[in-house]
């Protein structure tokens, strides 16, 4: 049985672009945060988890805009640009964000146990993981509205 979502994840270029763009944003935020607040690993982790949370929220807002637009049946040139963001967000939500959620949570737990990291960035990573779940649900809702 063929999955209806298979073609969405079969393009290697889309996956590479999604991984590269998400990692670029998170690495840049982590390095700038470490430079601004000192070079401790905790500062780099706090900046990276905040950047990841912001990326998850941006995808959430993109999906919500699509849901509202599909529900109200709005026609606009904006949807051509939105569709690019939507497709990049879908690949990121189902392929990139789950892996990064696990990596950031493990980094936070190890940092808390071995290096006495603050709990705040760990909570930020956990909330970002919850936002990824909401993003997944919104994807299926938007898909059902567009049919």
pLDDT at position 39: 54
d(CA 25, CA 28): 5
Task: Please write the tens of the pLDDT for every residue from 126-138.
Answer: 999 999 999 999 9
What percentage of the chain carries pLDDT values higher than 90? 41
pTM of the model: 0.85
The residue extents of the domains of the chain are 11-145
- When mean pLDDT is compared over 21-30, 31-40, 94-103, the highest value belongs to 94-103
Judged against a pLDDT cut of 60, whether residue 22 lies above it is answered with yes
């Amino acid at each position: 049985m063929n999955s209806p979502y298979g073609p969405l994840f079969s393009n290697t270029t889309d996956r590479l672009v999604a991984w590269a763009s998400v990692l670029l944003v998170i690495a840049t935020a982590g390095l700038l945060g470490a430079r601004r607040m000192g070079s401790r690993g905790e500062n780099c982790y706090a900046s990276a988890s905040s950047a990841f949370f912001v990326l998850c929220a941006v995808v959430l807002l993109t999906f919500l805009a699509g849901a509202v637009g599909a529900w109200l049946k709005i026609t606009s040139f904006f949807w051509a640009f939105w569709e690019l963001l939507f497709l990049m967000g879908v690949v990121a939500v189902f392929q990139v964000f789950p892996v990064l959620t696990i990596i950031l949570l493990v980094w936070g737990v190890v940092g808390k146990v071995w290096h006495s990291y603050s709990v705040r960035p760990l909570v930020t990573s956990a909330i970002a993981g919850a936002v990824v779940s909401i993003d997944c649900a919104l994807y299926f809702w938007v898909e059902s509205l567009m049919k």
